[in-house]
Amino acid sequence: MPHTQIQTARCAALVGPYLSGKTSLLESLLSATGATTRKGSVRDGNAVGDSSPEAKARQMSVEVNVASFEFLGERWSVLDCPGSVELACETQSALMVADVAVIVAEAAPEKAVLLAPLFKFLDDNRIPHLLFINKVDSLGDLRVRDVVQAYQAVSARKLVLREVPIREGGKITGFVDLVSERAWHFNPHKPSNLVQIPDSLKDREHEARQEMLEAVADYDDALLEKLLEDVAPDTQEVYDRLASELADDLIVPVFFGSAENDNGIRRLLKALRHEGPDVATSAERADIPADATVAAQVFKTLNGSHAGKISLARVWRGTVNDGMTLGGERVSGVFRMMGHNQEKLSQAAAGEVVALGRLDKAATGDLLTDKGNAGRSALWPELPPPVFGLALHAQNRNDEVKLTAAIQKLVEEDPSLRLDQSTDTGELVLWGQGDIHLQIAMDRLRNKFNVSVKGAPPQVPYRESIRKGTSHHARYKRQTGGHGQFADIHVEVKPLPRGAGFQFEDGIVGGVVPRQFIPAVENGVRDYAVRGPLGFPVVDFAVKLTGGQFHAVDSSEMAFKTVARQAMTEALPACEPVLLEPILTVSIAVPSDFTSKVQRLVSGRRGQILGYDARPGWQGWDEVKAYLPQAEIHDLIVELRSLSLGVGTFTWSFERLQELTGKAADKAVEIRKETLAAQ
């Protein structure tokens, strides 16, 4: 078919559920196009992608792999994205700069819901995408059309089957292309060869082709008219409509094959070549300002310990030259990536995906132009809220200082990580998207930044308060040599309502405690309140200084501060101390099939369900709102994912403190005592 050669390079992102075969597909695309001479494999650990130690150790993609090839004179960059839900932020960033996404999915209709967040993200961002059903070598009796039907339930756009399988002896041995109506026979690790359409398949082929044409005609009146009048449409017209409807994200063409056996790969390449939009179309989608002559957008940042900072960027417009000023900084090196290997270029033209050296101020999402750094694009996806935290400690105490700097570099590489220095517990808590996400981060700290760390569940920031008040008299008197120390106070202590904090009242009349010592009394109480009788910060109580005595020579600020602490130490245990635990408001989002399981999960964790509603903008999903003790949240995401095929997620915010009594309280106090004793 005629094809106007597209001069600019294009970019496809490979996305899809965990272990669906994206890295294998990249390997297959590279070998089919001659970009690699020997096909590697994920199993053998010699694929172009997944070459980092963290990826090899897990046999999974832990970050986006970038590679490129030429197919029939056109350059393509491929962004092989990680499939794990915990690494979705990385995938979303890569998708923002791609012309087209290939969703690689196994034929698993029972897990169709896994694709829902991806379809929604692609549709929300109008990113053209097609579906490649992988691993058809092990499809068994499943029918491709049934798989498509199951996936249709989670896609707002119409899935349009572009080929039908040829089956022999219970196996898929080839396919019939529904546009050209030509049949191909799969050959292991070799291009398919043209065959006759089997007679037994002719009816099915005709039916499927009609369905495809009708789906396409939904958006094209001229084509619809032809179909209604039984006029056979011209093949070129069908290809053109398919291309424009894909570019407008109106339809999702569906292909299938086997990355492992290199089947269906050339058909996929042809679809990308003929139907993938060009960079100018995608730049419009990305809202690249018209006045920028040169524009590139960073979708990933790498802080190599030796090579310095590298920004992976898509060139949206113009040419990026090594040494030029882009985004207000000098570009020091332009590289084309092939997995972990880099090829130095003197320049990169529009459409290319390149690594740019030493742009110290550029961050992921930033749009760099010849006019300056326009900052993070308004269209860039929001960061996912953190759902799993670990308190980190350097294995070697001397590394504690290095640790914070190294984590900051990691956060720059992966903005879905967040570092919090807890003011309550003093812990350095790394927040992320799940246990695997944080384990990868910890591995990177060791492998890249040479800091070995241990992770532990973060401490819960309990508080304590009192249930009843008391009056107390305390005297502090020391006579050591010359100057003595003297301070004497009467205080009234009383509980305050939840959320009131701490109040201090000066009730002194007649100057029995001189004015200059009163702040010292308040400071002494505040000092004490950092750790009450149960070992936690004391809140929601009031102290009134009602009387006292002083000595003209021996009284000092220090003495009054000390006596105030002493008064609290003596008085508070008698005020019925009570533990307060933080309660969070959580909002848990799951497909509605899992809503009742979520309610049980919340109840089983001492939570209080507030109700549930449809999740706005998510068809077939619910949002369950509940109060949940913070102590129950640490591994909530783990259980939530395991009951929802991995797609459940939640957001949380602090709600209030609430009294905790009984065994749970005793345990918290016991652990606190052990922790304090160990310090």
Ligand X SMILES: Nc1nc2c(ncn2[C@@H]2O[C@H](COP(=O)(O)OP(=O)(O)OP(=O)(O)O)[C@@H](O)[C@H]2O)c(=O)[nH]1
Whole-number minimum distance, CB 134 to ligand X, in Å? Answer: 5
Of the candidate spans 70-78, 133-141, 304-312, 407-415, the one that interacts with ligand X by CB under 6 A turns out to be 133-141
Matching residue, tokens 């900072």: 309
Closest CA to 216 of 235, 242, 178: 242
Interface residue with ligand X, options 29, 40, 75, 83 (CB under 6 A)? 83
Sequence letter at residue 394: A
Nearest to ligand X of 140, 482 (CB atom): 140
Interface residue with ligand X, options 31, 67, 82, 297 (CB under 6 A)? 82
Whole-number minimum distance, CB 64 to ligand X, in Å? Answer: 10
What Å distances lie between residue 199 and 143, 208, 255, 541, 630, CA to CA? 19, 15, 22, 86, 65
Interface residue with ligand X, options 12, 13, 20, 355 (CB under 6 A)? 20
Element containing residue 205 per DSSP (H, E): helix 202-217
Whole-number minimum distance, CB 137 to ligand X, in Å? Answer: 5
CA-based torsion, 358, 361, 365, 366: positive or negative: negative
Whole-number minimum distance, CB 287 to ligand X, in Å? Answer: 29
Nearest to ligand X of 19, 664 (CB atom): 19
Interface residue with ligand X, options 260, 329, 352, 540 (CB under 6 A)? 260
Query: Which residues face 485 on adjacent strands?
Result: 478
Interface residue with ligand X, options 21, 365, 389, 533 (CB under 6 A)? 21
Nearest to ligand X of 190, 454 (CB atom): 190
The answer to whether 22 contacts ligand X (rule: CB under 6 A) is yes
Write the DSSP string, 24-35: HHHHHHHHHTTS
Write the DSSP string, 218-260: TT-HHHHHHHHTTPPPPHHHHHHHHHHHHHTTSEEEEEE-BTT
Whole-number minimum distance, CB 647 to ligand X, in Å? Answer: 15
Region 267-286 residues binding ligand X, contact defined as CB under 6 A = none
Of the candidate spans 18-26, 196-204, 277-285, 496-504, the one that interacts with ligand X by CB under 6 A turns out to be 18-26
Nearest to ligand X of 137, 554 (CB atom): 137
Interface residue with ligand X, options 129, 135, 241, 437 (CB under 6 A)? 135
Of the candidate spans 252-260, 367-375, 417-425, 657-665, the one that interacts with ligand X by CB under 6 A turns out to be 252-260
Closest CA to 389 of 427, 443, 335: 427
If one counts every other C-beta atom within 10 angstroms of the C-beta of residue 401, the result is: 11
Nearest to ligand X of 134, 297 (CB atom): 134
HEC-encoded secondary structure of 97-156: CCCEEEEEEECCHHHHHHHHHHHHHHHHCCCCEEEEEECHHHCCCCCHHHHHHHHHCCCC
Nearest to ligand X of 60, 97 (CB atom): 60
Cα(274)–Cα(243) distance, integer angstroms:
7
Nearest to ligand X of 84, 297 (CB atom): 84
Kindly state the number of chain residues that form the binding site for ligand X, as judged by CB under 6 A.
Answer: 22
Whole-number minimum distance, CB 442 to ligand X, in Å? Answer: 18
Write the DSSP string, 340-376: TEEEEESEE-TT-EEEEE--TT--TTEEEETTEEEEE
Nearest to ligand X of 413, 522 (CB atom): 413
What Å distances lie between residue 336 and 11, 69, 172, CA to CA? 13, 11, 37
Of the candidate spans 21-29, 359-367, 453-461, 545-553, the one that interacts with ligand X by CB under 6 A turns out to be 21-29
Interface residue with ligand X, options 3, 34, 43, 654 (CB under 6 A)? 43
Q: Which position's Cβ is nearest ligand X?
A: 83
Whole-number minimum distance, CB 44 to ligand X, in Å? Answer: 9
Region 90-119 residues binding ligand X, contact defined as CB under 6 A = 104
Is residue 257 within 8 A of residue 172, CB to CB? The reply is no
Cα(80)–Cα(69) distance, integer angstroms:
13
Nearest to ligand X of 26, 96 (CB atom): 26
Whole-number minimum distance, CB 438 to ligand X, in Å? Answer: 17
Task: Print the binding letters for residues 46-65 with ligand X: x by CB under 6 A, - otherwise.
Answer: --------------xx----
Whole-number minimum distance, CB 16 to ligand X, in Å? Answer: 6
Interface residue with ligand X, options 137, 248, 424, 492 (CB under 6 A)? 137
Whole-number minimum distance, CB 104 to ligand X, in Å? Answer: 6
Whole-number minimum distance, CB 15 to ligand X, in Å? Answer: 9
Cα(631)–Cα(665) distance, integer angstroms:
11
Is residue 448 within 8 A of residue 305, CB to CB? The reply is yes
- Residue 410 has phi, psi (to 5 degrees) of -65, -40
Nearest to ligand X of 440, 637 (CB atom): 440
Whole-number minimum distance, CB 307 to ligand X, in Å? Answer: 24
If one counts every other C-beta atom within 10 angstroms of the C-beta of residue 651, the result is: 15
Interface residue with ligand X, options 11, 23, 114, 251 (CB under 6 A)? 23
Whole-number minimum distance, CB 673 to ligand X, in Å? Answer: 44
Nearest to ligand X of 261, 556 (CB atom): 261
Structure tokens at 61: 């993609």
Exposed e or buried b per residue across 300-313, where buried means at least 16 C-beta atoms within 10 angstroms of its C-beta: bbbbeeeeebbbbb
The answer to whether 42 contacts ligand X (rule: CB under 6 A) is yes
Whole-number minimum distance, CB 19 to ligand X, in Å? Answer: 4
Nearest to ligand X of 16, 582 (CB atom): 16
Whole-number minimum distance, CB 46 to ligand X, in Å? Answer: 12
Sequence letter at residue 435: D
Of the candidate spans 129-137, 355-363, 374-382, 599-607, the one that interacts with ligand X by CB under 6 A turns out to be 129-137
Whole-number minimum distance, CB 100 to ligand X, in Å? Answer: 17
Interface residue with ligand X, options 3, 34, 124, 138 (CB under 6 A)? 138
Structure tokens at 32: 């089919």
Cα(296)–Cα(313) distance, integer angstroms:
6
HSE (side-chain half, CA atoms, 13 Å) at 24: 25
Is residue 547 within 8 A of residue 490, CB to CB? The reply is yes
Classified as helix, coil or strand, 439 is helix
Rg for the chain (alpha carbons), in Å?
A: 32
Closest CA to 127 of 212, 219, 12: 12
Is residue 20 within 8 A of residue 105, CB to CB? The reply is yes
If one counts every other C-beta atom within 10 angstroms of the C-beta of residue 638, the result is: 12
Structure tokens at 340: 């972990």
Q: Which residues bind ligand X (CB under 6 A)?
A: 18-24, 42-43, 60-61, 82-84, 104, 134-135, 137-138, 258-260
